Structures are given as C-alpha cells and as structure tokens.
Chain A
C-alpha cells in the first residue's frame, strides 16, 4: 500500500499565517487547500500555491569554509567561533520560526552574551514595544472595525489574503480608506483613496492626528525596511483617536518574538550592518533570516559579514551562496516543525510537524559552548507562559516624537517587499518586480533603469501606464 502523509500547517510567507495542508507522497510534496482554516478559508496567494517548490529548495547539508562538513563538525566549529569572538554579538531571527524556536534562541543568546533582534529595532525604538505590539488583542479585529485605514500598503499585491478579508468586511459595512501610492487593485476594496507619494505619507497623516474618526483600525506595513516615522505617526493617531493599528510584517512569527521581548536593538538591519562595518559587532547568529539573498544591498551585507569573527547561519531554505566564513547548520522545513505561532491578528496557531527545528540545533550548539537548554517540552511550556502573560496585559498608545524620516532615495522607497513578490518565487517576472522595487528603493540601477521611472510618477507593480498615476497632493 502506498502511504500518504498529511501535515496541517501554516504558510510561512507572511504574518497572516494562512492555513495549508502539506501532502507528502512517494517523495513528492504538494499543497492541499485547508478550507476549514478561519484565517484564509483554504485560499492561498501565489507564494502559498508554490509552497512545495519553496520547500523543495532546502539547505540540506552543513557547511563551513565553503565546503560541506558533518553536522557535528559544523556545531563544533560554530561553538568555537562564537566563544572566541572578541566583541559584541547579535542573534537575528526575522521571524520564520516557531515561538519555541524563538524562545530557545533568546535563551541561547542570553547564555552566549548576544543581543537579540527581529530586524525591527528602529520601529521599537520609535514607539516602544508595547504600543507596537499590544494593539491587536482579538483575532477578529478586522471584522469588528467600523473603519479601516490602509497606510502605504496595497494588500492585493503584498498580502492578498488580507485583501480578501478587507473585501469581505467591506461587504458587511466597514468603510475602508487608503492613503499612499495609488494602485489599481485598491479600488476593489476601498471606499475612498487619498493617493500620495510615499515620501509624503507621514506628513499627509498629520491631519489624522487631530481630525480622524475615532476607533478606526490602521493597517500599516512594518517590516525590516519600513519607515519608523510612519510607525510613529500611526502610533500618534491611535493615541489621539483611541484607534488601533495592525502592523503587518513580512515574516511568519514576528509577534511571537515580540511577545518574548526579543527586540533589543534600537536600529534596524541597516543599523546592524553599519555596526558590523564599524567593528562594534563581531559575531552574528542568523536563524531563518535569508538576508544573503534578500537583503536590499546584498553586496554590502556580504562584505560586512566577511569581517565577522563568527557567522553562524541556521537555515532551512537554501541561499545561492554564503560568505566563506559562514558556518551553516541546516534546519528542517517550516512545515515539518512542531510548535506554536502567533499571527498578525494575534491568533495562536499550532504547527503540527514532528521536528524540533532550531530548538534542537541551539541545544547542540549551547552544549558545545558549555551551556545547556531544557528539553523541548519545557522550552515550549515556558515560552507559552511568557507569551500568554504578555498578551493578557492591555496597553494604550502614548504620543511620541516623530523620528527623522528615512531618506527618500527614489519613488516608492518605502515599499516593504514581501514574500509574495520575492521569496521562493519560481516566476521570474514576479521576482524581477520584487527586485525592481528593491532597486528603486535603494537607488540602484542593477535591475531597473532609473530613467524609466519619471520623477512625478509613483512606481507601481509594473512600469505599465495602466498602473501608474500622476502624483496628487493629499487634501
């Protein structure tokens, strides 16, 4: 008899964490729609549809010095490198990990004297952890909002299953407004649109602080490259109008990490790279943070990493290449892990795989460095208790000073690239579009010719006249 294994899982593509079933049959992996999942009713975006392909690109072997080594040897080398590092160290996980893995990382970091970050330190620094994170306390927050304001976000392209939820709540009478770059799809789920160039959104929102409708829900992208000034401005609107904010992030379990208090830096990834370049950070542990393939300025990141005393990478999805000093420890794919997750709406979810993932690897690494880690069940229990306690408290927004806006280097500089566009996509066109956005954001000319993008045009999905509109001042 031929066996078929079904694993109930969640898509790691973004912080919505859509439900999906992964089917293993005779060595092949496929996706089945999980129609009973309350988040997405089984529906998936392109990234979710292609999950089997994404999971097909796995980091299966341990690497050190650019060659394959045994897992044990890699652990020994990583422990040695971390122990002998001369300066400060940072453990970074952008969020594609279970809460248990994140907690294990934070325990490991404590023992090894490393700071922890989710890549969101600039947002945290601007508004404080509480305001950022405790704003959503109910999984059905979208369903209960009378008015939703989309700030600098186009869910149809960035988070399609969020766009669907917006369409459904709008049918139930919720008013939806957008402010930011104009996109064709916004018309399908908004009642009013205030098109403005991304560089003007923070200013445009100033009026909202005094005049906006109370008790609204602001949906804001808040990723590694997101502008902290925008986050702060939305925080201030929420403080002034008793509104709430849904900070949408690109990675799976950022909220789990935040609940554990894992963000200890006051700057984002750019700041981290600068610290490495300055020699202030000399060791880096990356857990499921595919920055070698997706960091905006990958050459700079690569060069900075080459100067590190210790570069330890725990990764399931394969990168094309790693710096020569990287010690790479493979992780099982996301769907094979066991543990819990928190999605952007604060829904507690379970990954029903069997693998301990980074918990097991960090236990081995810790043991090699002379500090142990509890068994998985104990780690899970502590992590859950910390998260639950954190979520039970209710915080309010307090007004903050706006930090300086991130430099405007080109149109659409603040687009937060999302996995729907860039991660694991087999469609080169989609990938190219994602990289175009990166390139435009950083003023690089590697993927896009700047002259193609007129100064007064908001860069949109394609360089296609149908998708671009002249700038209109916000009124």
Chain B
C-alpha cells in the first residue's frame, strides 16, 4: 500500500459518526491500540478551545479523541520517550520535531508510528475567544464545532448558527492563525508514516484522504483494513489533484507571509538587523519558558545555553545566542517559543530568521527526513559558506 493514496473511513459506525471526516484516523487508532505501548492523542475536555494530551487505553476512549482542533496547539512530540513503542497523531510541525529528535537519538524511528494530519494552521485560543465575543457577540462556550474551509474560519454554534469569516480578513485585523502557522510552508506531513486530512475529498461525504509514505504506514493501514477498522477506496483522480492544488495554494500563501514577516528583517543591513534583534530580545526576563516549550531542545540541565556567565554584559545574552546557533539547523518553526514567552518576544520569528537564512544557503530544511544530515554535522558546506 506504500506510496499510494486512498479515501478512507472508519469501519465502525460510531467512529464514522463521531470521528472527523469519516473517522479514518479513529479507525487506525483502534487498530494499532494493542500493538503499541502508548497511543498519544489530543482529547477534548470542554469547548473547542480546551483539550489535553491523552494516552489512549481503550477503544471506548477513541470517540473523544480530537485530531484537528484548530484552537488547540499542544505540542505532542514532547511526550515521546526513547525505547517506547508509540503511535502518535501529529501536525506537520510536531512531526518535524519528532524527526529532529530521531536524528539526535532521543527517539528511534522504528519505535514510532507517526500519523500525520494535514494542517493549514492553528489558532491562539484566547485571542480567538476574544474575537468571537467582540465580533460575533457569541460566548466561546456556545461553539459546538469549528472548521477551516475554502479560506474561511467557520464556527458552528450549539443553536445551529454558522459564523464565517475569511481568514485573510481576520489576519489583517490581527486575529486568525498563530503567526508561525501563517508562514509555515509544510502543510502535508510527508515525513510521517501516513498523512490524513479532508483535502481532496468530496464535500458531501465524510471521508479522509490518506497518503502512505512508509512501509510502517502501509503495514498499519493494511492491518486496519484487514481488521475491519478502516475501509478504503481509490480516491477520485480529480479530487486528488484538488488536494495537491490546495496544498500548493497554502504553501504559496505561506511564502507570502514569510516575505511579509521575515522579509523586512532580511532586507536590513547586518548592523541594523543586529540592532533589531537586540531590541526584540531586550524585554527578556530570563524565565527560560522558550526553552521549556521548544520541542527540539532536549539537552537537559547541562545544555550549553545554561553554561554562560549569568552576569555577562553581552548585548545578546549567551542563552539566546547559543539557542540561535543550536536551532539554526533544527528549528521547525512551530511557534511554541513565541506562545510561551511571557514578554511577548517574537522568538519564533527570530529563530526562523536564522533557520531560513541557513536553509537558503544550504538547502537543508530540518525535520523533513531522518536521512537528511545537517550540513554543520557533515561538514560539507556549500562553496563560499
């Protein structure tokens, strides 16, 4: 089944009904439950803005699993542990973080089944709740479901209303997706074993589009189909092309955001850029929340970023300088550092400045494949680098 695309849906009626897009991911989880030590997912706990990490321990719990809650951006890759066989449902940025952790021997590729979800971006929950209250006059507690479709963010209220706004419009007004999601250019998680989503499926049917990338993914899907957990069919050729087209449009939009958000920094003279970085970092209070939130940084308490003299008088603290260097070839742009910063420093922007420049020079994009060795590690820099 490897290298192939399918339309899929859950074999069991209740999972088809409760799961998103026909419940194919729920069916897959039900199928792998007995073969892995841990199955890590997001579980909804209240409104569409509230969820928690959850380890599935029974098929009964699958109905509460949430694949794509756009207003929840919990970073799940943190929960993987070395030597533990784990199936995990991930967004592309989380999957990229897992790949980076595999390269650093914090996780073994053969131990994990990565079930990826296509992702057009996630929303900051508090700001989105504020938007609902101020723009629609609706209490966040009255939202039954949310969806991003055809460039619109749509909320469905418990009393049957449908509230929709164009994402472009929202983002111009300072709402919409998290900033890092706007310029993220990985929308289909091809580094996973299987990528799942509703792009390229008939609008009137509840179906998931599945793309298999690895032998492990093929085996998992085959077992799910054989066990009756998932049913599959050939995808319509036209709609499969639509999926690619959607991906292309979203990547193009992301490149536009990259230009808009990172471009001004990149266009600066080096001295001016350095001054801008100094200014951006000046409010730092040394809480290290960015480091705690970073899914790639796993050095522990001995990390070099902690070994600088705390009383140094350097314009950029060694803590940030070491992190810029470390993450230049491993930052996956997930934006967790910006989310965590109590002083609202746009850390993801700053890290991406270095990471995108590095990517531009070397062609290396972190988190895309376990086989990609970072240029700094292999030592074969491009001429003139």
Contacts and interface: CB of A to CB of B under 8 A. Distances in A.
A392 interface: no
A381 interface: no
Interface string A228-245: 000000000000000000
B339 A33 contact: yes
A463 B126 CA distance: 38
Contacts of B57: 1, 3
Contacts of A462: 311
A36 B285 contact: no
Contacts of B52: 6, 8, 21, 32
A45 B129 CA distance: 23
B342 interface: yes
Given A45-B287, A188-B282, A462-B311, A6 B53 contact: yes
B292 A161 contact: no
Interface string B93-131: 000000000000000000000000000000011110100
Interface string B54-79: 11110000000000000111100001
A373 interface: no
B38 interface: yes
Q: Describe A's contact surface by its main secondary structure.
A: mixed
B339 A31 contact: no
Nearest to A1: B57
B313 interface: yes
A25 B57 CA distance: 14
A163 B342 contact: yes
Nearest to A7: B52
Interface in A104-145: none
B298 to A, nearest CB: 13
Given A1-B56, A3-B55, A32 B289 contact: no
Interface string B26-51: 00000000000111000001010110
Contact of B37 (A2, A164, A168, A188): A2
A42 interface: yes
A209 interface: no
Contacts of A21: 52
B311 A185 contact: no
A185 B50 CA distance: 33
Interface in A31-48: 31-33, 35-38, 40-46, 48
Contacts of A32: 52-53, 74
A49 interface: yes
A77 interface: no
A67 interface: no
A452 interface: no
Q: Describe B's contact surface by its main secondary structure.
A: loop
Contacts of B289: 43-46, 48-49
Given A36-B126, A164-B342, A44 B287 contact: yes
A321 interface: no
Given A46-B286, A188-B343, A36 B56 contact: no
B221 interface: no
Interface in A1-41: 1-4, 6, 8, 21, 23, 25, 31-33, 35-38, 40-41
B339 A185 contact: no
Contacts of B344: 164, 167-168
Contact of B125 (A35, A44, A45): A35
A160 B342 contact: yes
Contact of B311 (A37, A167, A464): A464
B53 A45 contact: no
B124 A49 contact: no
A315 to B, nearest CB: 26
Contact of A46 (B38, B49, B287): B287
Given A1-B38, A429-B310, A43 B340 contact: yes
A391 interface: no
Contacts of A157: 285
Contacts of A37: 126
Contacts of A48: 289
A462 B310 CA distance: 11
B55 A35 contact: no
Contact of B313 (A42, A46, A466): A466
Contact of B38 (A2, A35, A167): A2
B83 interface: no
Contacts of B126: 35-38, 41
A291 interface: no
Contacts of B55: 1-4
B293 interface: yes
Given A1-B37, A46-B286, A36 B293 contact: no
B354 interface: no
Interface string B289-319: 1001100000000000000001101000000
B121 to A, nearest CB: 15
B349 to A, nearest CB: 17
Nearest to B286: A46
B155 to A, nearest CB: 15
A360 interface: no
B194 interface: no
A156 interface: yes
B342 A45 contact: yes
B184 interface: no
Contact of A4 (B54, B73, B84, B340): B54
Interface in B269-289: 282-283, 285-289
Contacts of B125: 35-36, 41
A169 to B, nearest CB: 12
Contact of B124 (A3, A41, A160): A41
A72 to B, nearest CB: 36
A48 B292 CA distance: 11
Given A160-B285, A185-B283, A188-B343, A4 B124 contact: no
Interface in A158-210: 160-161, 163-164, 167-168, 185, 188
- Which of B286, B287, B310 has the most A CB atoms < 10 Å from its CB? B287
A6 B45 CA distance: 11
A35 B73 contact: yes
21 contacts: A2-B37, A4-B55, A6-B53, A8-B45, A23-B53, A25-B79, A31-B292, A35-B124, A35-B126, A36-B126, A42-B339, A43-B339, A43-B340, A44-B342, A46-B288, A48-B289, A49-B287, A49-B289, A160-B342, A160-B343, A185-B285
Given A4-B54, A8-B52, A464-B311, 20 more contacts: A4-B55, A35-B125, A35-B339, A36-B47, A36-B126, A36-B129, A37-B126, A38-B126, A41-B127, A41-B339, A42-B339, A43-B341, A44-B340, A44-B342, A163-B285, A163-B343, A164-B342, A167-B283, A168-B344, A188-B343
Interface of A: 1-4, 6, 8, 21, 23, 25, 31-33, 35-38, 40-46, 48-49, 156-157, 160-161, 163-164, 167-168, 185, 188, 429, 462, 464, 466
- In the A-B complex, the 10 residue pairs with the closest CB atoms: A36-B125, A1-B57, A46-B287, A6-B52, A43-B342, A36-B49, A41-B126, A4-B55, A160-B342, A188-B283
Interface of B: 37-39, 45, 47, 49-50, 52-57, 71-74, 79, 84, 124-127, 129, 282-283, 285-289, 292-293, 310-311, 313, 339-344
